[in-house]
Amino acid sequence: MTSFPEGFLWGAATAGHQIEGNNVNSDWWAREQMMPGMELSGDAVDSYHRYREDIRLLADAGLTSYRFSLEWSRIEPVRGHFSKAELAHYRRMIEFCLANGVTPVVTLQHFTTPQWFAAGGGWDGSEALELFCAFVEQACTILDGVEWVVTMNEPNMQAAIMTAMRHLAASGGDWTSPTVEADGDDKKKQTHSEFLTYADPEIGRLFTRIHHTAREIVRARTNAKVGWTIAAGALTAAPGGEEKLRQIRYGKEDVYWEGSRGDDFVGVQAYSSQQVDANGLIPHPAHPDNTLVGTAYRPDSLAMAVRHAWEVSDHTPILITENGIATADDTQRIRYTGEALQGLIGAIADGIDVRGYLHWSLLDNFEWGHWEPTFGLIAVDRDTFARTPKPSLAWLGDVAQRNALAAEVPA
């Protein structure tokens, strides 16, 4: 057995829009109805009403932490009008976690924004910082007892989406989802890979200013550790691609890792790895082990991402806020997770300060326009909403209870 540090967090993560259902005031709800090829979130998996069952399943399996998000568009459906009922709902979620021995990791903004915010220019709007921070102030009123707060999820992916949407508006292409590779024969569709190529460092600096302002509000009004989470590509250079790698990685990631300096932690979110040549990102090669979102099976990407984040963030403590695999084969999920954790142990042994591991995702859910990709430790019947824990949930719970990984990775 190989042990993890004492007090290591073990858990799973979700995002409100992907699991709650009927998030009708959000920009994503509106976007789903406009974008060709996108499926609708609808009732999602009804976790808004069933969060107690979901948290109990997590705790009963032996996990000790649950990362979930607050839905800004529920809390502030109309600009300047904050719902006391919705704030109370999320406070009940926090209290239920605490009562069940589960450490809540609360994300204040996970991709979605209110429709009124998006209509006013979104993150490009002149009042974006003030509007987001007004919401953060309200969110802080329910965070008593919360030890970990994420200001926003993957601002680098949000920035890439902004840039991609501008590009597509100019070129007349279609776009469906930030998480699923487009068919290689459909040249008009924006691919997941191209999100990296079009990342704009200036948008990253904008998000950094917003994050730092929100961070100081959370610090002033709570006792929580505060940071943000970054989508890590674990990119590597193919022969001749070294300069292009530096260019792409800076806009896509490094400006954000730099922005985490001074935070209490930074969330690392890694799933796969990809090469860069002189022309840009090399598409994921076809392989039977490729995931349901088209990416390569690369559990080593987690340790690669952690090492890079540690270096560029100037040794900011790390929390793994997402890591997982889109697969219908739960045996493959266990194998992937075991191999990823082995790599993580190696990074910790080399002196990198890693505070916990939160698997993506607790539940099979709405994958930003698609229902087919299944990341969950728990399957959900979308007609009855019945939850069925997969073997991977018990396996990860056993790792959590031992705070250690078996010497042999599951076959």
Query: Which residues touch 355 (CB under 8 Å, ≥6 apart)?
Result: 5, 7, 8, 9, 265, 317, 318, 319
The residue to which tokens 């190989």 are assigned: 2
Measured between its terminal Cα atoms, the distance across the chain in Å is 16
Q: Which residues contact 16 (CB under 8 A, 6 or more apart)?
A: 23, 68, 69, 70, 71, 74, 110, 112
d(CA 29, CA 17): 9
Beta strand 280-281 with 274-277: parallel, antiparallel or unpaired? antiparallel
The CA-atom distances, in angstroms, between 323 and each of 341, 359, 380 are: 10, 5, 20
Q: Which of 76, 154, 253, 367 is catalytic?
A: 154
Instruction: Give Dmax (Cα) for the chain.
Output: 56
Give how far Cα 317 sits from Cα of 81, 145, 216, 225, Å: 36, 21, 18, 11
CA-to-CA distance for 23 and 42, rounded, in angstroms?
8
Cα separation, 408 vs 269, in Å, equals 24
Nearest to 150 by CA among 109, 188, 89: 109
86 is a catalytic site residue: no
Strands 378-380 and 274-277 turn out to be unpaired
Alpha-carbon distance of 115 to 311, in angstroms, equals 37
Structure-token pair, residue 183: 């068919």
Burial class (CB in 10 A: 0-12, 13-18, 19+), 213: middle
Q: What are the residue numbers of the active site?
A: 154
